[in-house]
A and B are shown apart, each in its own frame.
Chain A
Amino acid sequence: MKQQNNAKAMPQGKPMEHPAGRPKVKAGVLKRLLGMLVKFYPVLVPMTVVCILFTAIASAIPAVFLQKVTELIETWQEIAVTQQLSAADAWKQASAEILPQIIFLAAMYALSLVTITLDTQLTAYITQGFLCKMRRTMFERMQNLPIKYFDTHKHGDIMSYYTNDIDTLRQLVAQSIPTMLRSSIIVLSVLFIMFYYSIWLTLLLFVGVLFMMLVTKKIGGGSAKYFLRLQKSVARIEGFVQEMMNGQKVVKVFCHEDECIEDFDEINEALFEESYRANANANMLGPILMNIGNVMYVIVAMVGGLILVTGAPNFSISGLPFGVDIIVPFLSMTKQFTGNINQVSQQINSIVMGMAGAERIFELMDQVPEVDDGYVTLVNAKIAPDGTVTETVERTGQWAWKHPHSADGSVTYTPLCGDVRMVEVDFAYEEGKNVLHDVTLYAEPGQKVAFVGATGAGKTTITNLINRFYDIADGKVRYDGININKIKKSDLRRSLGIVLQETNLFTGTVMDNIRYGKLDATDEECIRAAKLAGADDFITRLPGGYETELTNNGANLSQGQRQLIAIARAAVADPPVMILDEATSSIDTRTEAIVQKGMDALMKGRTVFVIAHRLSTVRNSDVIMVLDHGRIIERGDHQHLIDQKGQYYQLYTGAFELE
């Protein structure tokens, strides 16, 4: 049910470290889960519980009727013998008493059929509804998490919340919880009835139950422990296989197949060990408990017989004398009783796994979301010739920052121009490890600013700060003169176009993908943007043109084509500021030369931040910043830097390795 299409997806190593011994089920997790269940379905959940309650009691009650019928049979058999009634007469008289009992029982059954249908249908409905809501809640929470979360968590791990963990919840809600509920009610009602008939026999049963619980704890607990370990082994083999499948061609080139098989066998063997231990424990628990139940059945029958033979007095709530009419229903209750305990014990694995899954899901839900306390918003505006800005509702193509001042309640409007300034900015992803030191830069509207430097020099980090994927530690960042911390994040990002090296397209048509930049763009606007990006040419040659369906991140396109679509996507948004992070790295030099014109057209009139390995891409920038270990070591235009004969010059002449 789970597909992993992400080449980078890592094994789903789960943080489920349990110390040796039985895994603990945390009460808080269960409480929270049940709380959510009730909150989502405040009417249906109690209704289902009532239905289950009724069904459970209905399935415990027959014992009473069985006892009565048996008693009646006994009595009438005797009467028939002593009064020497004919068979027909005996039945005629007996049925007058027996039939009402059976009819009443049938009525009870009919009613319980209704509740059982309701209960199972409702459970199916609630389970799916609950899972759907959980998925949506998870997804919505996830959307609000900062980029940092995605940078620090493996995609495979995030995915397993939606696949593995949700699956364990499904088992829990659809099966384990109802079964536990039903079985415990049955056990309780049966217990009550048993006490009603005979306390001696019930106490005897108690001893047996204690024993069963002990066995469950031992074997069931062991099985749960192994199942959790099994999951880890599965994650390990998944990781190994993933790496090998990705590198399969390298394996072939080095004729390394046999060695790989050896390594695989080792991991496979370990998985086998865990798998058979976990399953053996789980498989053995059922028959063992069932037969302990059988033994108890026999013991109850024998002790019952013993009491009957010796004529020991019965001791019960009902005060009924001891007889076969008590033993028979008691025996069937014994069976029901042990059967239900068996049922409960079978749920142990799914409960332990479900709780572990729920715990992880709550972990995701409890992540601190990205805070957005900006209050400066982006609005459509009309700018009069004299420079006064007025807010409008309709799209004018002109934008302004609406800046309410809390001090005097006034509102000022600043036209959106795309002026970005950073002053003495320091930044660290991890406390104490600064990756940017004292970075100062000015990008005036319409300027092209390039960043050059080795991997890890901090080029992408600077752009991460401009769109506030991360927040600066020290210094100032100003956008059109406004502190970017005051700008609402979504509005800030709306004003920035971004094209990344790693192109991500969505499932849908090419047109849909371009329109992602501006959801209300017309087809014409999208096509114009594609033309601007130089993508129109190849798109029209695709089998379906703009309506070609892209799947699996545009797997049917080349990397360069994907980048062109991503550029068109940014172009349609028509933002005043653009960030091109290695946006043309996969377009070969010849093609790049062809799209260069489009790129130039695209950049015209915008403030552009360019990051590129290829120096030809950045050569015509207004300012080039050379970064080294988080510091700007050189700045100036191409000619200036070449004349300076510093780092840039050396890079340019190929004397240095850019990594």
Chain B
Amino acid sequence: MLKRLAKCVREYKIYVILTLIFIVGEAVIETLIPFVTANLINDIKAGAEMSEILKTGGLLTVMAILSLCCGGIAGFTCAKASSGFSKNLRKDLFAKIQTYSFQNIDKFSSSSLVTRLTTDVSNVQMSFMMIIRTAIRSPLMLIFSVIMAFNMGGMLAMAFVVVIPVLAFGLIMIGRKAMPAFRAVFKKYDRLNESIEENVRAMRVVKGFSREEYEKEKFGASAENIRGDFTRAERIVALNTPLMQLCMYVNMVFILFMGSKLAITTAEIDVGHISAMLNYGMAILMALMMLSMIYVMITMSTESAKRIMAVLDEEPSMVSPANAVTEVKDGSIDFEGVSFKYSQKAQKFALADIDLHIKSGMTVGIIGGTGSSKSSLVQLIPRLYDVTEGAVKVGGVDVRKYDIDVLRDAVAMVLQKNLLFSGTIRENLQWGKADATDEEIREACKLAQADDFVMSFPDGYDTKIEQGGTNVSGGQKQRLCIARALLKKPKILILDDSTSAVDTKTDALIRAGFKSYIPETTKIIIAQRISSVEDADLILVMDNGRITEMGKHDELLRTSEIYREVFEQQTNGGDGNEAAE
């Protein structure tokens, strides 16, 4: 997994290498400084020449400046490397998601993808930064310091032999205990935040039922619960500091004691050495502390890394074939023995035994209750999903043989859950055709009966659409979505319940326009309203994943019970206008 993630460094590799080089430089200099300082102190003590002192002092200053430069540059390159790494990671993630098929998309909820692209990437970035800054530096500091300490202090360094393993063991134990505790807490914490979000969203229900006090109690209980767990986990980690201090203190007392003994009894050790040893002791302990921090960081971000990898590893379930057909001949559609289910594991087929032949230029209506798989049927035409059995042909060629972009450009589909994006109306319409002229745009809008209301806005086609398209009404949104699809000049146009919020008169005008202006285009219209489909060349009645009846309006009134039932309910029941969005 690390290897795969590391690949995202790419052009920032040079910064990683520079960081490592400068950090090694910094570490080397930093360990040398106490050594030289010890000499300086001993020089001073020995009453050395002023020039000697100045020389050593000058050397030290140069070393500090060098270390400053190394550290500063490393800090800069490290920031560049880690930010670049996360940029590439986000880029790869986003690009990967763009290759997803509908089936892949269904697997991840959109909110989880957002979290992966933001929070998870920042977690990994933080770890990455920690790793390149300290993963090399700390062991280096550790090793250098130990070597220097043995070199200088001899016996005194024995203190480290005892203290390092104790500290290392202690830190690992604390980490081991704390990690599962934290992981459990974070999960609970996520759930707590989800429940807050649920409450915020359902505020009208809460207030409507006067459940404020009940919600407070409920929240209070889970907040206290988390507090308990969180405190426990934090308190384990909080043991790090006393442990570290204990080791440091033991170290200091030992060095002071042994140091003074050796200083007085032998000539090997001097006051300067003692001071340097104390410094090395600090450096060693700090390095260990950093290592334990890295350990914690890495473990914590492993979850994030896993979630990111899940997105990167997901195989797009649909790719254009080699030697793909790059032209769609006409708008004829054939379903040959098609069965379909959404996933391999699903027990129930969403569609079963569909045989259907639609000639180019026909208008086909589809009627059926919720869950009758109307949408599933039409989604197979632009190959949003692949059939499980049988074949779907467009223009006489199996859809799986086409280049996907070519196929989808020829088959325009207005989805049931249609969306406009933030931007102007013009920008939104240009999704259909990037270089569409004003005339083309207006023409499409006129056909979709959208031109009038767009022109009534003060800014006309430059009116800004807000995120989610909240500033146009449902019916207006639907008409704009139809216009957007028309701009593609498709051979097949599919409207999946796309005029539900449009009034019947306008609906009829749109259909009339289709008939006279785009007669060659095959039109498939899914609707709840019988009036939307009654003049179609062919009407399919669907129930439970099957086409139960097909024919013209008059025929179906006679032959199909469901059709007649719906028709009667809508005419007698007065459901002439079902504008539910």
Which 6 A-B pairs rank lowest in CB-CB distance, beginning with the nearest? A287-B71, A283-B75, A657-B503, A654-B504, A504-B202, A291-B68
Q: Are B223 and A301 in contact (CB-based, < 8 A)?
A: no
Among B483-509, those with CB < 8 Å from A are 484, 488, 501-506
Write the A314-326 contact mask toward B (1 if CB under 8 angstroms, else 0).
0000000000110
Q: Which residue of B lies closest to A11 (CB)?
A: B467
Contact between B578 and A614 (Cβ–Cβ < 8 Å)? Answer: yes
A298 in contact with B528 (CB, 8 Å): no
Of B190-198, B328-336, B517-525, the one with at least 4 CB within 8 A of chain A = B190-198
Tell me if A239 is interfacial: C-beta within 8 Å of chain B.
Answer: yes
Residues of A within 8 A of B361 (CB): none
Please measure, in the bound complex, the distance between the C-alpha atom of A308 and the C-alpha atom of B53, giving whole angstroms: 11
Q: With A124-B235, A469-B207 as given contacts, are A242 and B114 in contact (CB-CB < 8 Å)? A: yes
Is A121 close to B, CB under 8 A? yes
Number of A residues, CB within 8 Å of B: 173
Q: 1/0 per position for A579-592, CB-CB distance to B under 8 A?
A: 00010011011110
- A269 in the interface, Cβ–Cβ < 8 Å? yes
CB of A445 closer than 8 Å to a CB of B: no
Residues of B within 8 A of A162 (CB): 193, 196
Q: A1-B190, A121-B238, A238-B114 are in contact. Are A73 and B271 (CB under 8 A)?
A: yes
Q: Which residues of chain B are near A454, meaning CB under 8 Å?
A: 473
A5 vs B214: C-alpha distance when bound (angstroms): 23
> Whole-angstrom distance between the alpha carbons of A283 and B80 in the complex?
11
Q: Which of A193-201, A408-416, A492-500 contacts B (4 or more CB under 8 A)?
A: A492-500
Interface residue? A109 (CB, 8 A): yes
Instruction: Report whether B467 and A243 are in contact in the complex, using a CB–CB cutoff of 8 Å.
Output: yes
Stretch in contact with the other chain, from A130-138, A436-444, A627-635: A130-138
> In the complex, what's the smallest C-beta–C-beta distance from A50 to chain B, in angstroms?
17
Assess whether A298 is in contact with B61, with CB atoms less than 8 Å apart. Answer: yes
How far, in whole Å, are A615 and B47 apart by their CA atoms in the complex?
A: 105
Contacts of B531 in A (CB 8 A): 654
Return B484 CB to nearest CB of chain A, in Å. 8
Q: Which of B160-168, B348-356, B407-415, B553-561 contacts A (4 or more CB under 8 A)?
A: B407-415
Give the residue name and chain of the B residue nearest to A505 (CB): B202
B111 interfacial by beta-carbon distance below 8 Å: yes
Across-interface contacts of B207 in A (CB, < 8 A)? 147, 467, 469, 493
Which residues does chain A contribute within 8 Å of B239, judged by CB atoms? Answer: 117, 120
B384 touches A614 (CB 8 A): no
Of B224, B246, B259, B580, the most chain A CB neighbours within 10 A belong to: B580
* Segment from A24-32, A273-281, A386-394, A521-529 that makes contact with B: A273-281
Report yes or no: B279 in contact with A335, Cβ–Cβ below 8 A: yes
With A560-B370, A591-B370: A109-B253 Cβ-Cβ less than 8 Å: yes
- Docked CA distance A538–B398 (Å): 40
Q: Which of B140-148, B288-296, B569-577 contacts A (4 or more CB under 8 A)?
A: B569-577
B271 near A70 with CB under 8 A, answer yes
Please name all residues of chain A whose beta carbon is closer than 8 Å to the beta carbon of B53 when the two chains form the complex. 302, 305-306, 309
Given the complex, which residues of A lie within 8 Å of B186, measured CB to CB?
1
A129 interface neighbour in B227, B279, B475, Cβ under 8 Å: B227
CA distance A247 to B577 in the complex (A): 28
For residue B323, give the distance in angstroms from its CB to the closest CB of chain A.
Answer: 20
A380 is an interface residue with CB less than 8 A from chain B:
no
Q: Is B242 an interface residue (CB 8 A)?
A: yes
B113 at interface by CB-CB < 8 Å = yes
Q: Which residues of A contact B67 (CB under 8 A)?
A: 287, 290-291, 294
Closest to B252 in A: A62
Say yes or no: B202 contacts A295, CB within 8 Å: no
A87 at the interface (CB under 8 A from B): yes
A contact face: mostly helix, strand, loop, or mixed: helix
Q: A62-B252, A295-B68, A504-B198 are in contact. List 9 more A-B contacts (CB 8 A).
A: A1-B119, A9-B111, A73-B271, A94-B264, A237-B117, A280-B79, A280-B80, A454-B473, A469-B204
| Shortest distance between the CB of A325 and any CB in chain B (Å) | 8
Bound-state Cα–Cα, A494 to B256, Å: 75
With contacts A245-B114, A504-B202 taken as known, whether A143 is within 8 angstroms of B271 at the C-beta atoms is: no
Complex Cα gap A297–B60 (Å): 9
A7–B484 alpha-carbon span in the complex (Å):
24
A2–B265 CA distance with the chains assembled, in angstroms: 63
- Give the distance to chain B from A304, nearest Cβ to Cβ, in Å: 7
The answer to whether B415 and A249 touch across the interface, beta carbons within 8 angstroms, is: yes
CB-CB under 8 A from A261, the residues of chain B are 91, 94-95, 98
Across the interface, do B129 and A2 meet the contact criterion of CB distance under 8 Å? no
Q: List 13 A-B contacts (CB under 8 A).
A: A70-B271, A90-B265, A125-B234, A131-B230, A265-B91, A287-B26, A309-B50, A331-B37, A331-B41, A332-B278, A493-B210, A654-B576, A658-B579
B345 interfacial by beta-carbon distance below 8 Å: no
Residues of A within 8 A of B569 (CB): 589-590, 593, 616
Given contacts A87-B265, A248-B97, A614-B578, contact A264 B80 (CB under 8 A): no
The residue in chain A whose Cβ has the minimal distance to the Cβ of B245 is: A116
Q: Known: A255-B408, A256-B431, A287-B26. Is A308-B44 also a contact (CB below 8 A)?
A: yes
Contacts A143-B212, A298-B61, A657-B506; A5 near B275 (Cβ below 8 A): no
Within 224-278 of A, Cβ neighbours of B (below 8 Å) are at 234, 237-239, 241-243, 245-261, 264-265, 268-269, 271-272, 275-278
Compute how far the CA of A9 lies from the CA of B220 in the bound complex, rounded to whole angstroms.
24
Instruction: Check: A69 CB closer than 8 A to any chain B CB.
Output: yes
Is residue B342 contacting chain A, with contact meaning CB distance below 8 A?
no
A95 close to B (CB within 8 Å): yes
**Interface membership of B18, Cβ < 8 A:** no
The verdict on A324 contacting B45 (CB below 8 Å), with A245-B114, A302-B53 known, is yes
B343 contacts chain A at the CB level, 8 A cutoff: no
Q: Does B175 contact A (CB under 8 A)?
A: no
CB within 8 A of A116: which of B212, B241, B384, B413? B241
A616 and B573 contact, Cβ closer than 8 Å, known pairs A73-B260, A302-B57, A507-B194: yes
User: Nearest Cβ distance between residue A462 and chain B, in whole angstroms?
Assistant: 15
Query: Is B155 located at the chain interface by the 8 A CB criterion?
Result: no
* Bound form: Cα–Cα A3–B467 in Å: 20
Complex contact B111–A6 (CB within 8 A): yes
Interface centre among B43, B223, B565 (most CB of A within 10 A): B223
Determine the chain B residues whose CB is within 8 A of the CB of A4 once the complex forms: 111, 114-115, 197
Residues A654 and B503 in contact in the complex (CB < 8 Å), given A256-B431, A301-B40: yes
Closest to A95 in B: B261
Tell yes or no: B78 within 8 A of A by CB: yes
Binary flags per residue of B67-79, CB closer than 8 Å to A gives 1, else 0: 1101110111011
Decide if B26 touches A143 in the complex (CB within 8 Å). no
Q: Does B105 contact A (CB under 8 A)?
A: yes
On whether the beta carbons of B200 and A276 are closer than 8 Å, the reply is: no
Q: Chain A residues near B302 (CB, 8 Å)?
A: none
Q: What residues of A have a CB within 8 angstroms of the CB of B198 in the complex?
A: 504, 506-507, 553
Are the C-beta atoms of A506 and B202 separated by less than 8 Å?
A: yes
Give the distance to chain B from A385, nearest Cβ to Cβ, in Å.
32
- B150 contacts chain A at the CB level, 8 A cutoff: no
- Say whether B111 contacts A254, CB under 8 Å: no
Most chain A CB inside 10 Å of its own CB: which residue of B405, B413, B575: B575
Please indicate the chain A residues that have their CB under 8 angstroms from the CB of B581 in the complex: 585, 613
Within 8 A of A (CB), among B246-295: 246, 249, 252-253, 256-257, 259-261, 263-266, 271-272, 274-275, 278-279
| Residues of B contacting A593 in the complex (Cβ-Cβ under 8 angstroms) | 569
Are A2 and B193 also in contact (CB < 8 A) when A237-B118, A261-B98 are? Answer: yes
**Complex contact A291–B260 (CB within 8 A):** no
Q: Is B450 an interface residue (CB 8 A)?
A: no
Q: Given the complex, which residues of A lie within 8 Å of B209, measured CB to CB?
A: 493-494, 498, 516-517, 573
Interface string of A424-468 (1 = CB under 8 A from B): 000000000000000000000000000000110000000000010
Q: Say whether B253 contacts A128, CB under 8 Å.
A: no
A490 within 8 A of B: yes
B432 within 8 A of A: yes
Whole-angstrom CA separation of A260 from B423 in the bound complex? 13
Q: Is the CB of A248 within 8 A of B110?
A: yes
Q: In the complex, A255→B490 CA distance in Å?
A: 13
